[in-house]
């Protein structure tokens, strides 16, 4: 067995997922461990595991049951028709007439997927290789959905790497570049903080290079850059052209 890295491990429960787990462990350079043989000293870390037909991010509480996945179904309250109506603050900030959007900070892909369901042409960038695996798994499941197959839709394309570098090499400028980097929390994180976001912060930390990311997005976008921020944060790119204020967050829009 390979030595354990301090980052995490790929665990598998049975042989039906062994070869996919092996390939994943090689891609991430994470050790591969059978669930039944997981040593106690590893329990503080995080794990990736193929279970129930999807790739899950686990910790010690969710090792046997549960876990986090890229959710591909509409959010509560969202209409199930395609394209879903462009009526929320996100759509207003992106622009109802905008066609192409690049999400440079994909994370759990919830914003990307909401935009995809609204009919935008979405491209994604994510620099964390672990998140990229989870996103790619979500997009593969999306490709198998009946409503996607019936309409011959292609799930968003995912580029893996630092957007600050990748944005400079795009062959075509997207009309809108969307940014939702991690800001340091102001309030103590409460139970209301979504677990998926709290875990993301634990694994990845804050995105300290977000000012450089904004500069790269401003260069690369054809028409606008949209930044999602917590309500207490200073606007990332100086005074925005427009702002859409939600309950605890804000979308700042910078028009070119
Ligand atoms: C707050 S999360 C985004 C959440 C996302 N909007 C959603 O709906 O799930 C920020 C993500 O952006 C990624 N990220 C931050 N800066 C990046 C950069 N320069 N290049 C690529 N990915 C970046 C982080 O790794 C993290 O996964």
With respect to residue 76, please indicate whether it lies within any of the assigned structural domains.
no
Instruction: Give the model's pLDDT for residue 193.
Output: 62
Residue 110 Cβ < 6 Å to ligand 1: yes
Residues 30, 114, single domain; the answer is: no
Residues 137, 232, single domain; the answer is: yes
Mean pLDDT of the chain: 92
Residues 126, 230, single domain; the answer is: yes
Range of the domain at 17: 8-58
Instruction: Give the model's pLDDT for residue 4.
Output: 46
Query: Which residue stretches of the chain have pLDDT < 70?
Result: 1-6, 187-193
Cα 36 to averaged position of ligand 1 atoms, centre (Å): 33
With respect to residue 3, please indicate whether it lies within any of the assigned structural domains.
no
Residue 227 Cβ < 6 Å to ligand 1: no
For the sheet with 8-12, list strands across it. Answer: 32-34, 8-12, 46-51, 54-58
Q: What is the pTM of this model?
A: 0.94
CA 34 to chain centre: 27
Number of domains in the chain: 2
With respect to residue 224, please indicate whether it lies within any of the assigned structural domains.
yes
Q: Are 172 and 195 in contact (CB under 8 A)?
A: no
Report residue 77 as tokens.
């309250």
Distance CA 71, CA 74 (A): 8
Q: Which class for 92: exposed (0-12), middle (13-18), buried (19 or more C-beta within 10 A)?
A: middle
With respect to residue 73, please indicate whether it lies within any of the assigned structural domains.
no
Atom 23 in ligand 1: residue holding the nearest Cα:
105
Residues 29, 156, single domain; the answer is: no
Interhelix angle for 110-117 vs 129-143, to 10°? 30
With respect to residue 128, please indicate whether it lies within any of the assigned structural domains.
yes
Residues 163, 37, single domain; the answer is: no
Residues 48, 116, single domain; the answer is: no
With respect to residue 2, please indicate whether it lies within any of the assigned structural domains.
no
Long-range own/partner contacts, residues 12-19 (CB < 8 A, 24 or more apart): 12/49, 12/50, 13/49, 13/51, 17/50, 17/51
CA 119 to chain centre: 18
With respect to residue 80, please indicate whether it lies within any of the assigned structural domains.
no
Distance CA 27, CA 46 (A): 16
Instruction: Give the model's pLDDT for residue 71.
Output: 97
Q: Which helix (H) or strand (E) holds 54?
A: strand 54-58
Instruction: Give the model's pLDDT for residue 126.
Output: 97
CATH number at residue 14: 3.40.1630
Cα 116 to averaged position of ligand 1 atoms, centre (Å): 17
C-alpha angle 136-139-144 in degrees, rounded to nearest 5: 135
Instruction: Give the model's pLDDT for residue 5.
Output: 46
């Amino acid at each position: 067995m390979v030595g354990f890295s301090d980052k995490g491990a790929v665990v598998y429960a049975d042989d039906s997922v062994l070869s996919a787990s092996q390939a994943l462990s090689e891609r991430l350079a994470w050790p591969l461990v059978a669930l039944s043989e997981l040593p106690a000293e590893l329990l503080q870390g995080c794990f990736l595991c193929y279970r129930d037909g999807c790739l899950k991010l686990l910790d010690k509480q969710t090792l046997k049951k549960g876990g986090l996945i890229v959710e591909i179904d509409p959010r509560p309250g969202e209409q199930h028709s395609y394209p879903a109506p462009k009526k929320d603050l996100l759509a207003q900030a992106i622009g109802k007439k905008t066609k192409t959007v690049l999400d440079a900070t994909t994370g759990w892909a919830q914003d990307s997927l909401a935009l995809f369901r609204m009919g935008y042409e979405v491209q994604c960038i994510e620099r964390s290789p672990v998140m990229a695996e989870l996103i790619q798994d979500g997009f593969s499941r999306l490709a198998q959905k009946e409503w996607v197959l019936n309409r011959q839709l292609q799930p968003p394309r995912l580029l893996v790497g630092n957007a600050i570098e990748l944005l400079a090499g795009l062959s075509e400028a997207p009309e809108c570049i969307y940014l939702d980097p991690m800001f340091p929390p102001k309030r103590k994180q409460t139970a209301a903080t979504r677990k998926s976001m709290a875990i993301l912060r634990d694994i990845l930390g804050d995105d300290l290079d977000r000012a450089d990311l904004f500069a790269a997005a401003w260069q690369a976008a054809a028409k606008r850059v949209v930044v999602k921020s917590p309500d207490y944060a200073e606007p990332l790119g100086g005074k925005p052209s427009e702002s859409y204020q939600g309950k605890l967050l804000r979308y700042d829009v910078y028009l070119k």
